[in-house]
Structure 1
Amino acid sequence: MAVPESELVLFAKAISRVLGWIYFLAWSGSFYPQPILNWRRKATLGLAIDFPTINVLGFVCYTVSTAAFIYSPTIQSQYAYRHPDAPETTVRFNDFLFAAHGAVLCIIIYSQFWPAIWGFKVGSRQKASLPVLGIIWGSIFGTLIVILLVKIKGKDGGYDPSGWAWIDVIYALGYVKLLTVVIKYMPQAWVNFKRKSTKGWSIVPMLLDLIGGVFSIAQLVIDSSLQADWSGITGNPVKFGLGNISIIFDIIFILQHYVLYRHPAKDIEEEEWANERERLLREGIY
């Protein structure tokens, strides 16, 4: 006996909600090992400050972006205009909650590099690198340019979606988030490669990150299929890109930890690791 379509739709929506909260818990949980480790050691040695620095920018942008899609009638109407076959955005509340939670945790981790706040031991060379600072300020400048274009060239003050509109600013913030995701993973992958070891670095956040990425993409696919239009994926490029980029780098990290450098050629002490990362920081690799 065939199951009525309405029941199938309800079941698919329920699965979507479950997947969304699983990815939220997995990705959110991946934030905690590092600040807890810093707190236990009363030090930030071994962690590149570039990672939390660029993460703060990324998650603040992602928080604003998801909040706009969920709570702004203007952005929702402009999205519907540009995606007439699937007028309902695929951004969900768990996306916003993950972004807001991530922003708070990133700010906390970044604050741990300030001895006046936490009293932790911070390396003298643990400072944000010029390339990362350039990316941060370049992203801010680029977003301001989009805002100016909306103000100057936008129709009806940017409220007419047929031209430059406020939704383009929201998309710009989302692309900044994607850029930070690509950049933030590279230093750790490079350090593992240079050391031919993953000792002193936890694989747990990456495993949680992989689970989150898979379930995030799965939720997006289900939500788009429910709308019978795959433009729901292209209409939410940040979530789609965030999940795929995370999965790619997580696979790289898993291969490094469990296959390539499972038996490192030499035992690298933590202080030597810290010195190596500080050297890479000076050379601008971070």
Structure 2
Amino acid sequence: MAEWHSQVLHLLYESFGWIAFLSWSVSFWPQVLLNYKRKSVVGLNFDFVVLNFTKHSSYLVFNAAMFFSPTVQAQYHRKYGPDELIPVAPSDVAFSVHAVALTAVTLVQLCIYQRGAQKVSFSARVITALAWTAAAVFLVWQGAAHHRWLEVVTFFNYIQLVMTSIKYIPQAWMNYRRKSTDGWSIENILLDFTGGALSLAMMILQSADQGSLQNLVGNVGKLGLSLEVMLFDAFFILQHYVLYTDRSSRTVESAAPKVVEKSEYRAVDVSEH
């Protein structure tokens, strides 16, 4: 059975995992609370939320199957070696469950709060449909037909990696067009970056303990996730703190339609006479 060689590295690994879990999990709440406080989702890109839900759902499938399924674990050890640790921690599973739940809440907020002219784009709907269709085909082909369950869950991991690489683009582009980050929680980004850095540190610690890079190869989705998250979050931090610091409040006010009461018109008419 695979085991840790250094208890110190193991302790650091578990500690980093739960701190990353807290950082990533808490990162969802500022946006949810901001939407609730404003009763508006103006400034939050709908494509980002939809793609994010697909990303976290597919990542949950990978993490849960890799952590709980003896069949998947046996196939992993046959492929990468019996002494290799399973590259999914309990904190990874807990994070995925929380992420899917909070992203679902955000989807509900898109439906019930003021949204202006925003909607899910045709391209985002097509990408989402293609991702789940491909997952279903792979499930039947590799899973039901050939019982290659490791290949199936790995495919879900690749889906989350692709979704991560594209989900931030609509929001970044929207911020650029509006020259504003209002409506997009910067606290979310700072916590997200912290989670990504700690997740990467976990993989490095495990590789150092095992003296092997199989941990990185066996969970390339987690490696790619950490690097992509840190890259995009750094760009959002640049947008918020450097590029769009002065015009943010003015842009959001102009983005929401102004409602003028009839009493205001009457007041103007009286003053003119």
TM-score where L is the length of structure 1: 0.82
The answer for unaligned runs of 5 or more in structure 2 is: 258-273
What does residue 122 of structure 1 align with? 115
Q: Which amino acid aligns with 1:236?
A: N
What does residue 10 of structure 2 align with? 13
**How has the CA–CA distance of structure 1 residues 122 and 194 changed in structure 2, closer, same or farther, with 3 Å as cutoff?**
closer
Determine which of 188, 191, 205 is the counterpart of 1:205: 188
Q: Which amino acid aligns with 1:121?
A: Q
| Mapping 1:207-286, distance limit 5 Å | 207-264=190-247, 268-273=250-255
Question: Would the aligned equivalents of 1:86 and 1:232 in 2 still touch at CA under 8 Å?
Answer: no
| Mapping 1:37-76, distance limit 5 Å | 37-76=34-73
Q: Give the count of matched residue pairs.
A: 255
The Cα of 1:50 is off from its aligned counterpart by 1.7
Question: C-alpha distance in 2, partners of 1:142/1:271?
Answer: 41
Determine which of 120, 141, 144 is the counterpart of 1:149: 141
What does residue 130 of structure 2 align with? 138
Deviations 1:180-214 (A, max 9, x none): 21222112211222233334433211111111111
Q: Which amino acid aligns with 2:218?
A: G
Question: C-alpha distance in 1, partners of 2:129/2:82?
Answer: 37
What does residue 81 of structure 2 align with? 84
Question: C-alpha distance in 2, partners of 1:57/1:42?
Answer: 25
Question: C-alpha distance in 2, partners of 1:58/1:152?
Answer: 23
Question: C-alpha distance in 2, partners of 1:22/1:181?
Answer: 21
- Please give the secondary structure, in 1, of the residue aligned with 2:40: coil
**How has the CA–CA distance of structure 1 residues 114 and 38 changed in structure 2, closer, same or farther, with 3 Å as cutoff?**
same
Q: Which amino acid aligns with 2:165?
A: V
Question: Would the aligned equivalents of 2:48 and 2:171 in 1 still touch at CA under 8 Å?
Answer: no
Question: Would the aligned equivalents of 1:81 and 1:87 in 2 still touch at CA under 8 Å?
Answer: no
Question: Would the aligned equivalents of 1:85 and 1:229 in 2 still touch at CA under 8 Å?
Answer: no
Give me the CA root mean square deviation: 2.2
In proportion to residue count, which structure has more helix?
2
Mean alpha-carbon deviation: is it higher for 131-140 or for 53-62? 53-62
Question: C-alpha distance in 1, partners of 2:83/2:127?
Answer: 34
**How has the CA–CA distance of structure 1 residues 7 and 80 changed in structure 2, closer, same or farther, with 3 Å as cutoff?**
closer
**How has the CA–CA distance of structure 1 residues 147 and 231 changed in structure 2, closer, same or farther, with 3 Å as cutoff?**
same
The Cα of 1:121 is off from its aligned counterpart by 2.7
Q: Percent identity?
A: 35
The Cα of 1:7 is off from its aligned counterpart by 11
Question: Would the aligned equivalents of 1:76 and 1:89 in 2 still touch at CA under 8 Å?
Answer: yes
- Please give the secondary structure, in 2, of the residue aligned with 1:197: coil
- Please give the secondary structure, in 1, of the residue aligned with 2:250: coil
Question: C-alpha distance in 2, partners of 1:35/1:151?
Answer: 37
Larger Rg: 2
Confirm whether residue 196 of structure 1 aligns to residue 179 of structure 2: yes
The answer for unaligned runs of 5 or more in structure 1 is: 1-5, 159-164, 276-286
Question: C-alpha distance in 2, partners of 1:113/1:46?
Answer: 11
Q: Which amino acid aligns with 2:174?
A: V
The Cα of 1:150 is off from its aligned counterpart by 1.6
**How has the CA–CA distance of structure 1 residues 7 and 86 changed in structure 2, closer, same or farther, with 3 Å as cutoff?**
closer
Mean alpha-carbon deviation: is it higher for 64-73 or for 45-54? 45-54
